[in-house]
Amino acid sequence: MSRPAWPAMLGVLIAVLLGTLSVYLYLKATPYPAEIDHGPSPEAQANPYLAAEHFLRQQGLAVSHSNSLDILPSLEPHQHSLLLLGDRYNMTPRQIDQVLNWTRAGGRLLFVAQSLWDEKTGQSNDLLLDRVQLHQSLSKNLKDPPDNEHGSDNDPYPKLTKLYLENEDAPAYASFDTAFHLEDPKNLAQAWANSAKATHMMQLNHGLGSIIVVTDADLWKNPAIDEYDNAWLLWYLTADTSVTLLYDTDHDNLWTLLLRYFPQALIALIALIGLVFWHFGVRHGPLQEPAPKARRQLQEHLRASADFMLRRNGQQSLLQALQQDILRRVRHRHPGFDQLGVTDQWLVLARLTGQPTRAISHAMTPRPKQRLSSAEFSRQVAHLQTLRNAL
């Protein structure tokens, strides 16, 4: 065989080996389905009740949501449900009158009780709850469990709320927060739902309409809507009506969206702006004399004051000042706060700020006198500022 034939033979051999390897891998490879969880979509992250809205639409209900009560005049009360699921502490007496008048005309109103009843002042910090003459308290302060005609002995699910319907042998189960209890001192409620030790939902008539009060609405948020009979209960309470959900949603602004989806373009834009400033900022003429040292900017004074306080009083005084400011604000928001135990105070703070009790306990518990690292001190200050801003 001539020498020029060797390259051809080598190519054929490599092709045969590759073909054999491909066949072997094809015979050995076993395809299988795999599900990759990319987490909640941006739409679900921005809307905590997105799953609830989709579920109600699947049941044939017309569903919409709004961020304010400005839409109330456009809502026809007859066969319409209004769900107030957001923060109502800024609700004015005039707005409360509008909502109750809308309900009296035939609307169906559902709202979340947002404050505990204060026996000393004879009111709570929830004007709408006081207007319907219902009280909310902590379940652990109850001496006796609520009346339950079906009995609570040997209850297999004491932490679940039961709703009993006529001609039904078994109740519907919902996962309301059992830390809170609704009371009806005037015996106005027409229906209610209890767990083993507390009442978490009440319904009463109001003119031609009806009012439903619940201790919390977390059971209808995206993570919990598919648990137990939570979704069914929401449909049951709004059946045969159009539904409007009222709550605040935080939408990403333009800069956040640009940073998320077009970071390279933003970097190029910032670099271009920097070049423009550099071009027009080139010095012409003699140097300007520096400002006298006696002249100080406000920012310099503030920075120097903060450094002085940190050196003189230490980290603990600054942290305690933030904690005292938080306590002052929450006393204004929640009368009788000082009379509660520490655990109850953490629960109230968690309800008012939307922060978990663990984070609140970590932020509000007095710190040891030993000096914290700069990173830990910054994190502690950030936690306290988050709580203060939420109030």
Tens of each residue's pLDDT in the chain, 391 residues:
455 566 777 777 788 888 887 777 777 677 767 776 666 667 777 788 999 999 999 999 999 988 888 889 999 999 999 999 988 888 889 999 999 999 999 999 999 999 999 999 999 989 999 999 999 999 998 876 665 555 555 678 888 999 988 877 888 999 999 999 999 999 999 999 999 889 999 999 999 999 999 999 999 998 899 999 999 999 999 999 999 998 864 445 566 666 766 778 778 888 888 888 877 766 555 666 666 655 556 666 656 666 665 665 566 777 777 778 777 887 787 787 777 777 887 788 778 777 787 777 777 777 666 666 777 777 777 777 777 777 6
pLDDT for res 251: 47
Which residue matches tokens 């026809």? 76
Say how many Å lie between the first and final Cα of the chain, rounded. Answer: 92
Q: Token digits for 272?
A: 């271009």
Please tell me whether residues 208 and 334 are part of one structural domain. Answer: no
Q: Is residue 222 part of a domain?
A: yes
CB-based contact 216:179 (threshold 8 Å): no
Please name every residue paired with 199 in a beta bridge, in sequence order, or none if there are none.
Answer: 194
Please tell me whether residues 194 and 307 are part of one structural domain. Answer: no
Whether the pTM exceeds 0.75: the reply is no
Number of domains forming the structure of the chain? 2
Q: Is residue 193 part of a domain?
A: yes
- Phi, psi angle pair for 307, to nearest 5°: -65, -40
Instruction: Please list the alpha-helical segments (H only) found in 334-373.
Output: 342-353, 357-364
Q: Token digits for 350?
A: 């968690």
CATH at residue 62: 3.40.50.880
Domain boundary among 203, 218, 246: 246
For residue range 20-52, list pLDDT tens digits in order. 877 777 776 777 677 766 666 677 777 889 999
Single-letter residue type at 290? P
CB-based contact 82:95 (threshold 8 Å): no
Please tell me whether residues 174 and 91 are part of one structural domain. Answer: yes
pLDDT for res 250: 46
pLDDT for res 232: 94
Please tell me whether residues 333 and 223 are part of one structural domain. Answer: no
User: In angstroms, how far is CA 311 from the centroid of its own chain?
Assistant: 38
Domain span holding position 335 = 298-391
H or E element, residue 245? strand 242-246
Q: Is residue 58 part of a domain?
A: yes
Please tell me whether residues 208 and 144 are part of one structural domain. Answer: yes
For residue range 342-387, list pLDDT tens digits in order. 788 778 877 877 778 777 777 777 766 666 677 777 777 777 777 7
CA separation for the pair 298, 116 (Å, rounded) = 43
Please tell me whether residues 302 and 233 are part of one structural domain. Answer: no
